[in-house]
Structure 1
Amino acid sequence: MAAIIGNPLRTVRIGFMPLTDCASLVMAAECGFDRQYGIRIVPSRETSWANVRDKLGSGALDAAHVLYGLMVGVQLGIGCQRQDMAVLMNLSRNGQAVTVSRALAQQGALDGPGLARQMREAPRSYTFAHTFPTGNHAMLLYYWLAAQGIDPLRQARALTVPPAQMVGSLKAGMIDGFCAGEPWGQRAIDEGVGVTAATSQQIWPDHPGKVLGTTAAFAASEADTCRAMIAAVLDASRWIEASTANREQSATVLAGSAYLNTGRQAIAARLLGRYDNGAGRQWTDAQALCFHADGEVNFPYLSDSMWFMTQQRRWGLLRDDPDYLGQAQAVNRIDLYKGAAGMTGTQLPASVMRSSTLIDGMRWDGSDPRGYAASFPIHQR
């Protein structure tokens, strides 16, 4: 589907939030991978996930780097007008973090057990922020707190804050901690106001991150354009992971004013898997932010979509169990992904489901979503 010389490129406006995991989308445009498939990606920096949702719905954006849980929430009509959506591919895995205030960490809340102990011994009103009510960070934050025996909705207050405002909110004492994508966890450490209590890969190893999302209507009317977008981002994802130099170059581009507009080192450290929790522990994370892994990252697994539905049900965002499998089959456009995978020589997995064991020892494989959603001792239904 390479562009024919002389033919105009199809312009696609793709929204993104200023987060490190938008890298494959940005580099697809910056390195010209898009033009190889007859399109021109115009990245559009957005200010909140609600703006991304609304602009996708109105058609102001053709597609977006977007929270997986947000896409599922719109598909199910949680807190908004229901609209059929399309997840074209996964953009990333891992690489988010739960950050607690330095003051809380100094009182012993350096990790989950420490936080649970602190909340028992010094009861008060604790506030933790996420980035969107149905999104990845809310669901991962709630899951992590519940795994420590903390009811996230009864023993704490949950607050929605745009990613770029997390560090300022922590510094101002408005919140005790937050779950968000990078570089904001690292920025909290660099500014001396936060400590990493858990990485998201500790909560759910190899969890899905952001997706390339659009509306079902756009996917139906612009199938060739969707395949071209997926193919361009697959090539960019492969390129990022081809060398350390490419990751370093990506960090430099992302730091620019058009994208994250922040210090390059705050981006580069965790993009390269180099972690410092801000309290004296340093390590190289084998499960850091990942963009491709021979296509293993990018396939839109049905079980990933279903997991977010189970957690939305668990926390009362859904009053009843949805048709988990049917909704996942509707929103995850495996057909379009397979077409782009063929264009780029990207491997496909043996199954549309995958299994994982999360921080609390619970295994998820998509086989019994209704039973899984009802099995947690801490829930709000």
Structure 2
Amino acid sequence: MNEPSAASLAWVNGSDAPEKTELNLGFMALSDCASVVVAATQGFAQPYGLTLNLKRQASWANLRDKLVSGELDAAHSLYGLIYAVNLGIGGVPATDMAVLMGLNQNGQSINLSRGLQTRGVTSPEALHLHVHQTRPKLTFAQTFPTGTHALWLYYWLASQGIHPLQDVESVVVPPPQMVAHLQAGRIDGFCVGEPWSASAVRQDLGFTLATSQSIWPDHPEKVLGCTRMFIEQYPNTARALVMAILQASRFIEDNDENRRSTAQLLSAPQYLDAPLECIEPRLLGDYADGLGNRWQDPHALRLHGEGEVNLPYLSDGMWFMTQFRRWGLLRDDPDYMAVARQVQQLDLYREAADAVGVAAPTREMRSSQLIDGKVWDGTDPAGYARGFKLHAMSDSLSLLASR
């Protein structure tokens, strides 16, 4: 473990001491909860005066409800979940929310069933033909109606000429249940985080057709989320929490041995409860798709990236709102920049990063090109959203009803 710096330890003294020292942290059984688990269990929180109690959740809906109620102080969260709650989308009252830091980029996958493989559906082109020539509709699972997996699935399907709200059925399945649903034939494919895609491949129940990083290299994914009330009540605690998790993120990526030991830790029953061989390879960027292809992915799961992963860019938050608008979850354009400035806790993050010696660029936006050739840089979010066909609110009612 890396020792905290003198500058970082200074935060626990005097008026900078945490106002609340014992925190309940929610997480889902996914490989990208790694830095939260490592921070809580490997001695990264204690130097900052914190005790972190990990609380594994059964579904993203449970995690959301406990975060809003205060039963959880903060959580490993879907980016889109935090913004949907903030905007009052999806059946819960609008609650002021906050993104303290990014937890990871990349590392999610779209998998199809072996049944589709036996019918020759092993490429995007074959899937397009199958969807438009076959009935009944295929059923795809994602993990939460406003979450990242739903939006990666929709974006990818649309880029292949498949309408995600009309040409296929979409259902919500908690991440650890995906493989069982595939095995039972209840779904034809899914989008989920690791280790569940790798598990389907390893059990010979499906194959990986696309990774999320092929949709958007180094895309935003999970965040450390909380209510804004938590930050207002416990600003020093929030800062210390970010410092501890930043230290853990940096430790995991320091070398491959640390990644391997993290995979071993995550495999335990109280965390992912999954075999090490389903967790470790893709955590190291080693992909096998179940079709005989194997590669070292240049944009595999990243937890730190010298701080590039962890900075809560305004443009990252705004992108999710553009997709809510695209798919009819928002009837009108919000004030994208104003909402992002409220949610993304850039100042607090930079204070924490500076204290632990992590570079925090002054820029608030970043630019990326996605799979369909569109460039997203956050400069004109309303125009970007209008660049897609906008769908009516009624189009997305089944999406929200399937939580």
Into which bin does the TM-score normalised by the smaller protein fall? over 0.9
Per-residue deviation, 1:124: 2.6
**CA distance in 2 between partners of 1:86 and 1:231 (Å):** 16
Tell whether 2:31 aligns with 1:20: yes
Q: 1:154 aligns with which of 145, 160, 166?
A: 166
**CA distance in 2 between partners of 1:358 and 1:367 (Å):** 16
Aligned-CA RMSD value: 1.4
Q: Is the 8 A contact 2:141 2:189 kept in 1?
A: yes
Q: Is the 8 A contact 1:111 1:198 kept in 2?
A: no
Letter in 1 for 2:170: A
Q: 2:145 aligns with which of 99, 113, 133?
A: 133
Tell whether 2:301 aligns with 1:284: no
Q: Is the 8 A contact 1:67 1:135 kept in 2?
A: yes
Per-residue deviation, 1:340: 0.4
1:1-381 matches, within 5 Å, as 1-2=8-9, 3=12, 10-79=21-90, 80-377=92-389, 379-380=391-392
- Alignment: residue pair count: 379
Per-residue deviation, 1:259: 0.4
Letter in 2 for 1:268: E
Question: For each residue in 1:301-342, what CA deviation from the matched residue of structure 2 results, as whole angstroms up to 9, or x when unmatched?
Answer: 000100000001100111111111110000111111011011
The TM-score normalised by the length of structure 1 is 0.97
Letter in 1 for 2:98: A
Q: Is the 8 A contact 2:131 2:168 kept in 1?
A: no
Q: Judge which range, 34-43 or 136-145, deviates more.
A: 34-43
**CA distance in 2 between partners of 1:106 and 1:232 (Å):** 48
**CA distance in 2 between partners of 1:38 and 1:110 (Å):** 52
**CA distance in 1 between partners of 2:313 and 2:46 (Å):** 27
**CA distance in 2 between partners of 1:378 and 1:329 (Å):** 25
Letter in 1 for 2:247: D
Q: 1:285 to 1:255 in 2, by over 3 A?
A: same
Per-residue deviation, 1:172: 0.9
Letter in 1 for 2:218: D
**CA distance in 1 between partners of 2:125 and 2:241 (Å):** 43
**CA distance in 2 between partners of 1:260 and 1:216 (Å):** 29
**CA distance in 2 between partners of 1:370 and 1:133 (Å):** 22
Letter in 1 for 2:87: L
**CA distance in 2 between partners of 1:43 and 1:349 (Å):** 30
**CA distance in 1 between partners of 2:136 and 2:209 (Å):** 20
Per-residue deviation, 1:122: 2.6
Q: Is the 8 A contact 1:151 1:379 kept in 2?
A: no
Per-residue deviation, 1:351: 1.0
Q: Is the 8 A contact 2:322 2:385 kept in 1?
A: yes
Question: For each residue in 1:4-33, what CA deviation from the matched residue of structure 2 results, as whole angstroms up to 9, or x when unmatched?
Answer: 6xx998111100000000000111112111
Structure 2 residue ranges without an equivalent (≥5): 1-7, 394-403
**CA distance in 1 between partners of 2:88 and 2:391 (Å):** 21
Q: Is the 8 A contact 2:78 2:147 kept in 1?
A: yes
Structure 1 residue ranges without an equivalent (≥5): none
Letter in 2 for 1:46: Q
Per-residue deviation, 1:379: 4.4
**Partner in structure 1 of residue 397 of structure 2:** none
Letter in 1 for 2:276: R
**CA distance in 2 between partners of 1:311 and 1:265 (Å):** 35
**CA distance in 2 between partners of 1:151 and 1:222 (Å):** 44
**CA distance in 1 between partners of 2:314 and 2:123 (Å):** 31
Question: For each residue in 1:32-71, what CA deviation from the matched residue of structure 2 results, as whole angstroms up to 9, or x when unmatched?
Answer: 1111211111111110000110001111000000000000
Q: Is the 8 A contact 1:151 1:378 kept in 2?
A: no
Q: Is the 8 A contact 2:111 2:190 kept in 1?
A: yes
**CA distance in 2 between partners of 1:111 and 1:163 (Å):** 24
**CA distance in 1 between partners of 2:100 and 2:389 (Å):** 34
What SS does the aligned partner of 2:307 have? coil
The TM-score normalised by the length of structure 2 is 0.92
